[in-house]
């Protein structure tokens, strides 16, 4: 539905709408819409192409997209928003595999938008980003092989535990249910780099953040980034960044 690049967005409005069985035309609009369908079925016709929408579907309708919709009794939550991006995103539909997660997020989003408590601008953005996060996670694992799913889970585990010195590729392989050599091969096929390289990239990127803050000694950064030997960390950092971590 969307790619991994962060979308610069501005939420314009959030609505919960109910429609009885009807047929209606929606003209091109200047904003985008992201819709969660609580219940009901609908059929969208755009340029002679029909798309059926069912309960728990998430629909993205881009700006400038006109369509005719024929629907049965339905209830939806729709978020209207603008995108500050050069490339257009196409009309797309995603069926929620975990509808309870999306339903809760959309419901909380409309409640915050309606009641506007203190800090609601930040809360609505945070909820919308959480929706996009879950869309990306499902999109990455949709229609994928079991191997892809296992690698995605291993990557997620890396992001949560890369600061642990005892995290190893053998452990990740075991968690994925593969022997280390096969795990390394399919990881490279999916991610484009070896698991060791991916793990080191995570650790050194975090090291950059800690070092640039000025709050940590090099020794502390090494341990926080998953290195149990500060001297090895300094040598490896200099080899990758062409300067010592102290600089």
Domains 9-141 and 146-241 share a fold: no
What are the sequence ranges of the domains in the chain?
9-141, 146-241
Kindly report the CATH number that applies to the domain delimited by 9-141.
2.60.120.280
Q: Which fold has domain 146-241?
A: Arc Repressor Mutant, subunit A (1.10.10)
- Which residues contact residue 23 at a Cβ distance below 8 angstroms, ignoring those fewer than 6 apart? 68, 69, 70, 71
Question: Is 81:31 a contact under the CB 8 Å cutoff?
Answer: yes
Please give the structure tokens belonging to residue 209. Answer: 């953040």
Please give the structure tokens belonging to residue 75. Answer: 């209830």
Taking the C-alpha atoms of residue 135 and residue 147, their distance in angstroms, rounded to an integer, is: 20
Question: Is 47:87 a contact under the CB 8 Å cutoff?
Answer: no
Taking only the tens of pLDDT, the chain with its 247 residues reads 776 677 889 999 999 999 999 999 999 999 999 999 999 999 999 999 999 999 999 999 999 999 999 998 999 999 999 998 777 889 999 999 889 999 999 999 999 999 999 999 999 999 999 999 999 888 876 656 778 888 888 998 999 999 999 999 999 999 999 999 999 999 998 888 999 999 999 999 999 999 999 999 999 999 999 999 999 999 999 999 999 999 8
pLDDT at 84: 85
CA angle 42, 46, 98 (to 5 degrees): 45
Please give the structure tokens belonging to residue 114. Answer: 């309606």
Residue where the block lists tokens 């889970």: 153
pLDDT at 136: 87
Taking the C-alpha atoms of residue 12 and residue 41, their distance in angstroms, rounded to an integer, is: 26
Q: How far apart are the first and last CA of the chain?
A: 42
**What is the 8-class DSSP label of residue 194?**
-
DSSP letter string, 40-87:
--EEEEETTEEEEE-TTEEEEE-TT--EEEEE-SEEEEEEEEEE--SS
Taking the C-alpha atoms of residue 28 and residue 191, their distance in angstroms, rounded to an integer, is: 38
Please give the structure tokens belonging to residue 181. Answer: 């050599």
Please give the structure tokens belonging to residue 120. Answer: 């609601």
Question: Is 110:102 a contact under the CB 8 Å cutoff?
Answer: no
For residue range 227-244, what is the model confidence (pLDDT) as tens digits? 999 999 999 999 999 999
- State pTM to two decimals: 0.72
pLDDT at 143: 54
């Amino acid at each position: 539905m969307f790619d991994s690049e962060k979308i610069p967005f501005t939420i314009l409005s959030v609505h919960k709408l109910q429609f009885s069985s009807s047929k209606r035309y929606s003209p091109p609009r200047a904003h985008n819409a992201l819709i969660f369908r609580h219940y009901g079925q609908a059929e969208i016709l755009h340029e002679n192409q029909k798309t059926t929408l069912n309960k728990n579907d998430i629909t993205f309708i881009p700006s400038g997209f006109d369509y005719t919709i024929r629907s049965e009794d339905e209830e939806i939550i729709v978020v209207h928003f603008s995108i500050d991006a050069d490339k257009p995103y196409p009309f797309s539909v995603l069926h929620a595999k975990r509808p309870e997660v999306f339903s809760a997020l959309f419901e909380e989003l409309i409640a915050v938008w309606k009641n506007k408590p203190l800090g609601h601008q930040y809360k609505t953005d945070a909820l919308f980003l959480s929706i996009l996060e879950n869309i990306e996670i499902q999109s990455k694992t949709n229609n994928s092989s079991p191997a892809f799913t296992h690698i995605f889970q291993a990557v997620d585990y890396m992001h949560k535990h890369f600061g642990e010195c005892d995290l190893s590729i053998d452990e990740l392989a075991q968690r994925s249910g593969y022997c280390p050599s096969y795990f390394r091969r399919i990881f490279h096929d999916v991610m484009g780099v070896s698991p060791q390289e991916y793990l080191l990239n995570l650790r050194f990127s975090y090291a950059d953040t800690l070092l640039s803050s000025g709050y940590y000694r090099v020794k502390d950064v090494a341990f926080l980034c998953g290195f149990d030997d500060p001297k090895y960390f300094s040598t490896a950092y200099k080899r990758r960044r062409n300067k010592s971590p102290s600089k």
